[in-house]
Structure 1
Amino acid sequence: MPYVDGLTAAEGRGLAVLAAPEAASRPRLARAVPVFTATLFAGAFLLFLVEPMIARMVLPLLGGSPSVWNTCVVFFQAMLLAGYAWAHGTMRLGVRRQSMVQAALVAAPLVALPFGIRQLSAPPSDGSPVAWLLLVLLLSVGLPFFVLSTSAAVMQKWFSTTDHPAAKDPYFLYAASNLGSLLALLAYPVLVEPYLTLQQQARAWTIGYVAYVVLALACAAIVWRQPARARDERVREAALGAALTGTRPALTWTIRARWVALACVPSSLMLGLTTYLSTDIAAIPLLWIVPLSLYLLTFVIAFGGWSVRATAAADRLLPLALVPMAMIMVGRVSAPLPLAMALNVAAFVAAALVCHGNLSASRPSTEHLTEFYLWIAVGGMLGGLFNSLVAPVAFTTIVEYPIALVAACLLRTRIGRETLWIDRPMIAGGVVAAVATLSLGAVLWANQALPTGRLFMVALSVPAVLAFTVARRPVAFALAFAMILTAGTFFNAGLGATEYAERTFFGVYRVHTDEAGGYRYLLHGTTLHGMQRLDPARRQEALSYYHSTGPVGDAFASLPAAAGHRVGVIGLGAGVLARYARPGQHWTFFEIDPSVERIARNPRFFTYLGDCGPRCDVSLGDARLSLARVTDGEFDLIVLDAFSSDAIPMHLMTAEALALYRLKLSPDGALLFHVSNRHLVLAPIVARLAGAAGLVAVNRFDRNEPPVPGKIGSHWIVMTRERAGLGPLAANAAWVALEPHAGTPLWTDDFTNILSVLRPSQANAR
């Protein structure tokens, strides 16, 4: 009999005989389910709201480094694990005493709310800020976050001790908890961030926490009305278990390990899909919300009333989505963007639902409820740590995503000797076929006897057909799917224009070479960060967004500030702007990622920085923090070129940031903003900033019509204190005044709204 809470008919009759006298003496708790459901929903809702709030609060203090968000994620996961550990450990006190302790714990954060940044010292100016940030997070939101982390396990355990008919299997409440998380995730960017400052958000969150305290105390009151069961719960569960389920297998480490794996794989998949979509398919702002929302939704389904049917359907759907998705991923099959995204999302939902459905099916009796959730938390944390901290260091591409997909295939069913024995002939045949295909393909490739496209089809067709053949056999299908990925990766290694690839915490960088066109490109995910001609005689031409016939060429030819002695540039890319450095000038590039500097300085790839020589240097670190350490009035011109990707550093586009830029400019200095973006309309925000600061602003939107070879359309904005600071640019008809739009909010460190600047249609994207 599987280790689940379901009972046979005989066991059910026995349980009724033993439990009926006590149950009959108690009134039905009609309100128990609504109260407990509301409590779990509220706790999860508040938990998911506080995460983006506190991360936004620390952003101006430490800058936009991924280490800041990764440290926040590690803190959240550690506190969540600590919450589940507390729930599991304190249940040894017995439910009545534990509920009293829990009630005091729930009320404790009220003395420290509303939360805000609490720090004992300033952020470290050198060295790692991780320890400082962890302490700040602990002091600021540690206690309320910890309390909310205990909610799911504690409330379900409490409910299991009531007289309600559903108390024998309280896991349906976990669906309510994940629904609260899902709605909070969707509500923050749509309903909270656009309308409330961070201080207002903290106050509103405090009101919500007070409501949660009231609900939690109501749950405790329900528990306190069950004195006999609360006092004798552990004895009664043990007695009933021994009498009715003597053949039930004990909770083993194998079962615990499977719980961890079933929780770890979907967690890794969710993060891997987010990275893959934004890196290799489409870098769209807020794209991360889709995988995370679907991840939570699979929890809701798996622990709701549709688990068995939904898991079975997902198990059938998974092979149908994975094979064509793998062909697109590694086989260089051209597919429309909606189809590629749909296949990836469908495969993820199916894989996550299979794992979470199996997790729900293997849930234990209520005696082990808190331990069950503890191991789920361990698995989720391991998946998050693997993707957030290990993968960027260990891999140069998004390898963790296909690894998690293969693991999900293996978890479709328990792996044991019987399964392996049944699948062994297919596995052996698949291995032989794959090796033969790869060997034949390698020979044909070496002798150039097969075109590239057909070579890929030969390499991928055998494992693809094999995968569909063994789709009902989890182990064999997982190996066949892995063969597709391996075959594609094998040939991709030598058949691409990718000259160099490197992965950091900021994403994946690729240097692509177009021999036919005569260009070399630097890509960050799918966003172009500069290009250069391969012809040595023409390598000093400024290309892409920085073309001499575009807005940048105008600015450096006309702005008086561009002739000044010192120029600061936020954002390095391939270093194309260094082409405009004049004799006697000194340029400082502010770049957050050391890998970008290494690529830009490598003469194998780009030569702009090398040709500039000692006139150009690079300051590594968050630009806003680095610029704050520069002498006031240091620069005659500051160029801001950090807003072209999907994840813009919003802390560089606030009123406080603009005040810092003005402070570092000379009296006649100028600011040059690059606001080209495929997904965001940033000009209204910059116009509002300029208007609030009393600056003169003009802009040019260059559509590159008719097309000029090596040039990409771009949008640039110039700001000066006085109109005279524009010089000849003021008379250039291509440059028009930029006036603030009515109703455009002023972005500050306390308020930003990314949804307000999303393009209404991708038809306008370049």
Structure 2
Amino acid sequence: MRALYTATLFVSSFLLFLVQPLAGKIILPAFGGAPAVWSATLVFFQAVLLLGYGYAHLSISKLGLKRQPWVHMGVLLVSALALPFAVSNPIFRSVVDRLAGSDTSNPAPLVLLALAGLVGLPFFAVSAGAPLLQRWFATTSDPRAKDPYFLYAASNIGSMLALIAYPVLLEPRMTLAAQSWIWAALYGLLFVGMVLCAVVAIRAAKAPVAEAAPVEAVQEEVVEVETTPAPRIEYSRLRTVLLGAVPSSLLTGVTTFVTANIAPVPLLWVVPLALYLLTFILAFAGKPIFSARALSRTLPLILCPLVVVTLMENTAAPVSILHLAGFFIAAWMCHARLNEERPEPARLTEFYFYMSLGGVIGGAFNGLFAPSVFNTLLEYPIALVAVAGLKLPFKVGSKFESRDLLYGAGLFLGAVLLIFAIGDWLPRFTGMRPLDPQVRTGITLGVPTILAFVASDRPWRFSACLAAVVAAAFVTGVNNGGQRVLLTRRSFFGEHKVATSGTGRFVRLVHGNTLHGMQDKKNPTRPLTYYYPNGPIGQVFTQMKPRLQGKRVGLIGLGVGSLAAYGQPGERMTFFEIDPLVVQISRDTGLFTFLRDSKADVDIVLGDARLTLGRQPDGAFSLLAIDAFSSDAIPVHLLTQEAMALYMRKLTPDGILAVHVSNRYLDLNPIVSAEAKALGLICYEQTDGMTTEEEALGKTASSWMILGRDAEAFKGVAGARGSYWNLAEESDMRPWTDDFSNVFSVFRQGD
């Protein structure tokens, strides 16, 4: 009986985690990767999950255990009508057709409607599985039925395996259609398991109440609980919401911070999510390894140095281990508290509803609220401060006192005075040589953090002190690392920072540790980094100069507008950019002047490039440059065979498609080569380095590929003696399509 419930719950959670990346890939080609699309997708899955948990709680409360299982069987059967997931789904198709016929600037309502028609009913039905199965199990005669929360560990094991299985096993080997059929088959298996579990639960609900065996089992459980040294904390709805919200916020915060600032490796997001699920498994295990109180004692040891390195924006790769370890201990502590403070089984569905509500609040805070309000990734240190307040006190029974907050206020004033004393007053009045910016930041933030650690026995005081350190860092700007930051702004796509380097000659736009453009104030008309005049794309513009006079050039990816420097009088250059903040920065002549100084007529089209380019006339461009793949999160839908075919339709018969394939972790050349072969195109490639002198002047090594219909397209550019372009190596790799992609296949070996 226990095995039946465990296996069914495992399949339910496996399906729940599998459907989300699958649905995301299905809608991406139609809706693109604009912020409103991803925000709507996030809201949809979190809202439907919460609805599923709410349905589980209300249906059990209103219908009872004798009737509710049959109602849920009906829900599962009706939901099966939406399987398998397919773009031919009539609701999804009608929404896509409506989108194609409109020029809406807010696709969110259409995204919600499309997802509802595509996966809404099955996702809703499956999402209710975890709380329902545990509540049903609590009515059985199994010896562990009086405390069914251990099944939640099995639930999270299923989620973790789905998380790993999708990018490793399913995505690299199957089309979206095949994945949908696999999901439908597993849904059928889930239905069989749910029917069997429902029959067991209904029979148990109708059985006589008094039986000997369960009573003995309950007595054994009571004896075991009575030996627990610490008193049990009473269940609280508000605390359940907070203990669900903070780890959820931390999950998104640490993922964003690590992937943007430290190691922008594709699929690295899997690691913190796997750790998050592991904390549930450990916390809700039948015999937990550590109690919440033991984890609370450990937390300050790692949380204090984590706050300091976060504020210092230390981007050394080993620091990512500290971030992940701190997140793991913090989430484990919160989830251990949830397990230890769980209510009796009769309130199980209510407990999971409020825990899920907390998860939704934490995710919405990071995904929707923070990008709209904060200029930096401030939500991450806020979550670190919050988790400090959720730890258990060292002394049982210790309560909040108003002086805890006063302690934090005093530490804030002291930290600010210390920052100004070391950074300004001492060098000015003593003639002492200023400290290295990183050393100064480490001292001025480290000392107050040590004092915060001293207060870690009292959660509220500890949290207030860490908040004081964070506030002091942001108020004084001590965490800028000595560079002159001209602008820091935040969009849905992350934090963008414009800063000078060295003597102030170069101005750079960076996102995390990825450089997105640079300008030399001494030579402002020369494009730098990947776009240097003697680099691959510079050669293309120079050699095509006669052919581009009076023509249109399309450029996907704006950056700081470097390529506008190649514009000629009478030429029209159209940039396609998805991030409105990047457009604002590139147009700000106090920061960058490439767009203003271009000799061409420059216009910018805002939105997902595949959608906005699709609205341009066929044959409109003599040159298309695709520059969207240099960061960790490559937009796969811009690199599929269908996307390449779209680009070629928008080119003139002798037009050239240039694709920037520089990437620290992915070798994209074989994919572009394979798609060129599939479309019958000629493809050249060039990887260019730089001398020490060129590097000092702002050049960056880059790799580009150019595609055309025939040899005539490359006349004067490639194919002649002395050209730096070489025919691309023929690839036997399977081309990526809207129905298939495999990121693992293009990871650089040894990186």
TM-score, scaled to structure 2: 0.90
Amino acid at match of 1:734: Y
Counterpart of 1:278 in structure 2 is 259
Assess if the C-alpha contact under 8 Å between 1:161 and 1:229 holds in 2: no
Deviation at 1:254, TM superposition (A): 8.1
Q: Tell me the distance in 1 between the aligned counterparts of 2:560 and 2:494.
A: 16
Q: Is residue 566 from structure 1 mapped to residue 544 from structure 2 by the alignment?
A: no
Amino acid at match of 1:375: Y
Counterpart of 2:31 in structure 1 is 62
Q: How many residues align?
A: 714
Counterpart of 1:460 in structure 2 is 445
SS in 1 for 2:719: helix
1:302 to 244, 264, 283: 283
Counterpart of 2:227 in structure 1 is none
Counterpart of 2:228 in structure 1 is none
Counterpart of 2:141 in structure 1 is 163
Name the CA shift for 1:128/1:230 in 2 (closer, same or farther; >3 Å): farther
Q: Is residue 87 from structure 1 mapped to residue 56 from structure 2 by the alignment?
A: yes
1:676 to 641, 644, 662: 662
1:620 to 597, 606, 625: 606
Counterpart of 1:388 in structure 2 is 367
Deviation at 1:620, TM superposition (A): 0.7
Counterpart of 2:269 in structure 1 is 288
After alignment, is 512-521 or 260-269 more displaced?
A: 512-521
Amino acid at match of 1:586: R
Assess if the C-alpha contact under 8 Å between 1:430 and 1:466 holds in 2: no
Amino acid at match of 2:317: L
SS in 1 for 2:706: strand
Q: Tell me the distance in 1 between the aligned counterparts of 2:75 and 2:121.
A: 9
SS in 2 for 1:168: coil
Identical-residue share of aligned pairs (%): 42
SS in 2 for 1:716: strand
Counterpart of 1:26 in structure 2 is none
Deviation at 1:457, TM superposition (A): 4.2
SS in 2 for 1:761: coil
The alignment yields a C-alpha RMSD, in angstroms, of: 2.7
Q: Tell me the distance in 2 between the aligned counterparts of 1:310 and 1:154.
A: 27
1:137 to 102, 115, 135: 115
Alignment of 1:49-128 (within 5 A): 49-92=18-61, 93-117=63-87, 118=89, 119=92, 120-121=94-95, 122=97, 123=99, 124-128=102-106
Counterpart of 2:699 in structure 1 is 711
Q: Tell me the distance in 2 between the aligned counterparts of 1:436 and 1:387.
A: 30
Alignment of 1:365-444 (within 5 A): 365-413=344-392, 419-420=398-399, 424=403, 428=406, 431-443=409-421
Q: Tell me the distance in 2 between the aligned counterparts of 1:462 and 1:384.
A: 32
Unaligned runs of 5+ in 2: 223-231
Counterpart of 2:687 in structure 1 is 701
Name the CA shift for 1:654/1:232 in 2 (closer, same or farther; >3 Å): farther
Amino acid at match of 1:135: L
Assess if the C-alpha contact under 8 Å between 2:247 and 2:330 holds in 1: yes
Name the CA shift for 1:718/1:379 in 2 (closer, same or farther; >3 Å): same
Assess if the C-alpha contact under 8 Å between 1:568 and 1:589 holds in 2: yes
Assess if the C-alpha contact under 8 Å between 1:94 and 1:230 holds in 2: no
Amino acid at match of 2:623: L
Q: Is residue 362 from structure 1 mapped to residue 351 from structure 2 by the alignment?
A: no
Name the CA shift for 1:335/1:48 in 2 (closer, same or farther; >3 Å): closer
Alignment of 1:364-763 (within 5 A): 364-413=343-392, 419-420=398-399, 424=403, 428=406, 431-443=409-421, 445-447=423-425, 448-449=427-428, 451-453=434-436, 455-492=440-477, 495-516=482-503, 518-535=505-522, 538-559=523-544, 561-563=547-549, 565-612=551-598, 615-708=601-694, 709-728=697-716, 729-731=718-720, 732-742=722-732, 744-762=733-751
Name the CA shift for 1:269/1:430 in 2 (closer, same or farther; >3 Å): closer
Name the CA shift for 1:437/1:618 in 2 (closer, same or farther; >3 Å): closer
SS in 2 for 1:513: strand
Assess if the C-alpha contact under 8 Å between 1:561 and 1:637 holds in 2: no
Q: Tell me the distance in 2 between the aligned counterparts of 1:184 and 1:579.
A: 48
Q: Tell me the distance in 2 between the aligned counterparts of 1:366 and 1:510.
A: 51
Assess if the C-alpha contact under 8 Å between 1:330 and 1:492 holds in 2: no
Name the CA shift for 1:654/1:342 in 2 (closer, same or farther; >3 Å): same
Name the CA shift for 1:421/1:651 in 2 (closer, same or farther; >3 Å): closer
Q: Tell me the distance in 2 between the aligned counterparts of 1:81 and 1:640.
A: 40
Q: Tell me the distance in 1 between the aligned counterparts of 2:600 and 2:684.
A: 32
Q: Tell me the distance in 1 between the aligned counterparts of 2:56 and 2:416.
A: 53
SS in 2 for 1:264: helix
Q: Tell me the distance in 2 between the aligned counterparts of 1:331 and 1:544.
A: 26
Show CA shifts across 1:578-620 (max 9, x none): 0011112111001111111111011111000011266111011
2:292 to 305, 311, 316: 311
Amino acid at match of 1:505: F
SS in 1 for 2:568: coil
Amino acid at match of 1:61: A
Q: Tell me the distance in 2 between the aligned counterparts of 1:394 and 1:321.
A: 29
Amino acid at match of 1:129: P
Counterpart of 1:45 in structure 2 is 14
Q: Is residue 337 from structure 1 mapped to residue 317 from structure 2 by the alignment?
A: yes
2:166 to 188, 211, 234: 188
SS in 1 for 2:509: strand
Assess if the C-alpha contact under 8 Å between 1:555 and 1:562 holds in 2: no
After alignment, is 208-217 or 484-493 more displaced?
A: 484-493
Q: Is residue 209 from structure 1 mapped to residue 215 from structure 2 by the alignment?
A: no
SS in 1 for 2:622: strand
Unaligned runs of 5+ in 1: 1-31, 245-250
Deviation at 1:151, TM superposition (A): 0.2
Alignment of 1:187-266 (within 5 A): 187-229=165-207, 255-266=236-247
Deviation at 1:706, TM superposition (A): 4.8
Name the CA shift for 1:193/1:138 in 2 (closer, same or farther; >3 Å): same
Amino acid at match of 1:715: S
Counterpart of 2:226 in structure 1 is none
Q: Tell me the distance in 2 between the aligned counterparts of 1:154 and 1:72.
A: 25
Amino acid at match of 1:511: V
Name the CA shift for 1:358/1:181 in 2 (closer, same or farther; >3 Å): same
Name the CA shift for 1:690/1:467 in 2 (closer, same or farther; >3 Å): same
Amino acid at match of 2:728: L
Assess if the C-alpha contact under 8 Å between 1:593 and 1:620 holds in 2: yes
Deviation at 1:104, TM superposition (A): 1.8
Q: Tell me the distance in 1 between the aligned counterparts of 2:415 and 2:698.
A: 41
Q: Tell me the distance in 1 between the aligned counterparts of 2:334 and 2:450.
A: 25
SS in 2 for 1:546: coil
Amino acid at match of 2:29: P
Amino acid at match of 1:570: I
Amino acid at match of 1:609: L
Q: Tell me the distance in 2 between the aligned counterparts of 1:585 and 1:169.
A: 73
Name the CA shift for 1:94/1:523 in 2 (closer, same or farther; >3 Å): same
Q: Tell me the distance in 1 between the aligned counterparts of 2:750 and 2:292.
A: 36
Deviation at 1:312, TM superposition (A): 4.3
Name the CA shift for 1:384/1:434 in 2 (closer, same or farther; >3 Å): closer
Deviation at 1:558, TM superposition (A): 1.9
Q: Tell me the distance in 1 between the aligned counterparts of 2:599 and 2:370.
A: 35
After alignment, is 492-501 or 377-386 more displaced?
A: 492-501
SS in 2 for 1:304: coil
